[in-house]
Structure 1
Amino acid sequence: MRVLVLAALAMLIVGCMAQPKPEANLFTRIGGLPMLARLSNQTLDIVSKDPRTARSFEGVKMVNLKQSLTNFLCIKTGGSCEYEGETMKNAHADAHITTAEFEIMVEVLRERMDINGVGTKEKNELLKILAPMKRDVVSG
């Protein structure tokens, strides 16, 4: 009987060890708040000065926008931040963002992720999360 109990216990231990650990959420894998803040700041610094997209940022308090975007990305990637901004539709309703402007911002974000060493899987996951927002952002 004792041998059976030990064998069952050994099988239980081996079974538990063989279970793969659940994968960390995107927020953790992408680098957490420091990486999201870096991506937000760098992306907005570039697009706010690019002649093709700068008009959308005229009169905008960039410090507030950078923090808001960082918090938004935090929430979307599974972090525990508070996002108190508008919905994407409301935030961009009067901005008349064009498809070209939207695509430039996505391209800059993609470049920033590459430059900052974000993995391909994480980059694709984030872009997949953000892609459906195009219909709420683009209106011009």
Structure 2
Amino acid sequence: MRNYVIAIVVFLCAGCVTQPRPEATLFQRIGGMPMLSRLSNQTLDIVSKDPRTSRSFDGVKMKTLKESVTNFLCVKTGGNCVYEGETMKKSHADLHNTVAEFEIMVDVLRERMDANGVGTKEKNELLKILAPMKHDVVTN
């Protein structure tokens, strides 16, 4: 009888053990669409007006670009979004972006993440995702 009681207790306690929850995606940890939209909008507002980078935004519909960049970041961070824009290589092919322009954009994005309270881990993860795109964005 004692073994029977122990077996029942063990069986019941096994049901009490919770499965570890999967880690939240970067999209969730960074703040979802509201934060990605804020980061995109602020970064693009700054670089589109900066004399060192503004030439790349001549004639660009900023509202459309901001939405596209937000969706791009959403997809790249694990959000359930659809990005319908061009590849980075194709969308930047005719812009002749320099390394300096790319680095300014990254610096502004980093500053905006800091200003909006994005955690260091999340900031570094996002920058790590975006860094390889330098080869597609920089053509000069």
Fold in common (TM above 0.5): yes
Aligned to 2:78: 78
CA distance in 1, matches of 2:24, 2:34: 17
Structure 1 segment 2-17 matched on structure 2, within 5 A? 2-13=4-15, 16-17=17-18
Letter in 2 for 1:136: D
Q: CA deviation at 1:13?
A: 3.7
Structure 1 segment 17-56 matched on structure 2, within 5 A? 17=18, 19-56=19-56
Q: CA deviation at 1:11?
A: 4.5
Aligned-pair RMSD on alpha carbons? 1.2
Q: Percent identity?
A: 72
Aligned to 1:134: 134
TM-score (norm 1): 0.93
Structure 2: any 5+ residue segments left out of the alignment? none
Structure 1 segment 54-65 matched on structure 2, within 5 A? 54-65=54-65
Structure 1 segment 69-108 matched on structure 2, within 5 A? 69-108=69-108
Structure 1: any 5+ residue segments left out of the alignment? none
What SS class does the counterpart of residue 23 from structure 1 fall into?
coil
TM-score (norm 2): 0.93
Aligned length: 138
CA distance in 1, matches of 2:11, 2:111: 51
